[in-house]
Structure 1
Amino acid sequence: MSSVRIILNFLSGFGVLANIFLLVFYTFIILCHRPKPTDMISCQLTFIHIVLLITGPDIWLWDIFESLNIDNDFKCKTTFYINRMMRSLSICITCLLGVFQAVTISPSSSLLNKFKYKLKKYMISAFLFIWSFNLPFTCHRIIYSGAFTNVSETKQMKATKFCSLFSMNHIIRALILTVATSRDVFLVGLMLATSAYMVIILFRHKRQHKHLHSLSHLKASPEKRATQTILLLVVFFVVMYWVDFIISFTAILLRMYDPVILSIQKFVMNVYPTITPLIQISSDNRIINMLKHMQSLCHHIFKWR
Structure 2
Amino acid sequence: MSSLSIVLNFQAGLGVLANMFLLVFYTFIILCHRPKPMDMMICHQAFIHIVLLITGTEDWFGDISESLNIDKDFQCKTNFYITRVMRGLSISITCLLSVFQAVTISHITSLLAKFKYKLKRNMISAFLFIWSFNLLFNCYHIFYAGAFTNVSATNQMKVTKFCSLFPMNYIIKALILTTAICRDVFLVGLMLATSAYMVIILFRHKRQHKHLHSLSHLRASPEKRATQTILLLVVSFVVMYWVDFIISSTAILLRMYDPVILSVQKFVMNVYPTITPLIQISSDNRIINMMKHIQSMCHQIFKKR
Q: Quick check: TM above 0.5?
A: yes
Question: Are positions 1:69 and 2:69 aligned together?
Answer: yes
SS at match of 1:249: helix
Task: Report the CA distance between 1:215 and its aligned residue.
Answer: 7.3
Task: Report the CA distance between 1:216 and its aligned residue.
Answer: 6.4
Q: Which residue of 1 aligns with 2:189?
A: 189
Task: Report the CA distance between 1:33 and its aligned residue.
Answer: 1.4
Distance in 2 of aligned mates of 1:123 and 1:219: 26
Task: Report the CA distance between 1:166 and its aligned residue.
Answer: 0.9
Superposition map of 1:1-305 within 5 A: 1-212=1-212, 214=214, 217=217, 221-305=221-305
Tell me the alpha carbon deviations over residues 246-273 of structure 1, each in whole angstroms, 9 at most, x when there is no partner: 1111011111232222111000011000
Letter in 2 for 1:251: A
Distance in 2 of aligned mates of 1:232 and 1:167: 39
Deviates more, 1:11-20 or 1:149-158: 149-158
Deviates more, 1:255-264 or 1:106-115: 255-264
Distance 1:156 1:92, change over 3 A: same
Task: Report the CA distance between 1:212 and its aligned residue.
Answer: 4.8
SS at match of 1:210: helix
SS at match of 1:146: strand
Distance in 1 of aligned mates of 2:57 and 2:15: 15
Distance in 2 of aligned mates of 1:57 and 1:284: 28
Distance 1:218 1:116, change over 3 A: closer
Deviates more, 1:293-302 or 1:236-245: 293-302
Task: Report the CA distance between 1:213 and its aligned residue.
Answer: 7.4
8 A contact 1:57–1:160 mirrored in 2: no
Task: Report the CA distance between 1:91 and its aligned residue.
Answer: 0.5
Q: Root-mean-square deviation (CA), in Å?
A: 1.4
Tell me the alpha carbon deviations over residues 169-216 of structure 1, each in whole angstroms, 9 at most, x when there is no partner: 111100100011001000000000000000000000001112457476
SS at match of 1:59: helix
8 A contact 1:157–1:165 mirrored in 2: yes
Gaps of 5+ in 1: none
Percent pairwise identity = 81
SS at match of 1:115: helix
Deviates more, 1:215-224 or 1:101-110: 215-224
Distance 1:81 1:46, change over 3 A: same
8 A contact 2:12–2:53 mirrored in 1: yes
Letter in 2 for 1:278: L
SS at match of 2:56: coil
Gaps of 5+ in 2: none
Letter in 2 for 1:160: T
Tell me the alpha carbon deviations over residues 89-111 of structure 1, each in whole angstroms, 9 at most, x when there is no partner: 00011100100000010001211
SS at match of 1:70: coil
Task: Report the CA distance between 1:36 and its aligned residue.
Answer: 2.1
8 A contact 2:8–2:57 mirrored in 1: no
Distance in 2 of aligned mates of 1:61 and 1:169: 30
TM-score (norm. length: structure 1): 0.97
Distance in 1 of aligned mates of 2:235 and 2:219: 24
Distance in 2 of aligned mates of 1:181 and 1:302: 57
What is the aligned residue count? 305
8 A contact 1:147–1:162 mirrored in 2: yes
Task: Report the CA distance between 1:2 and its aligned residue.
Answer: 1.1
Letter in 2 for 1:37: P
Distance in 1 of aligned mates of 2:109 and 2:300: 51
Deviates more, 1:257-266 or 1:245-254: 257-266
Tell me the alpha carbon deviations over residues 212-257 of structure 1, each in whole angstroms, 9 at most, x when there is no partner: 5747637961111001101110111111111111111101111123
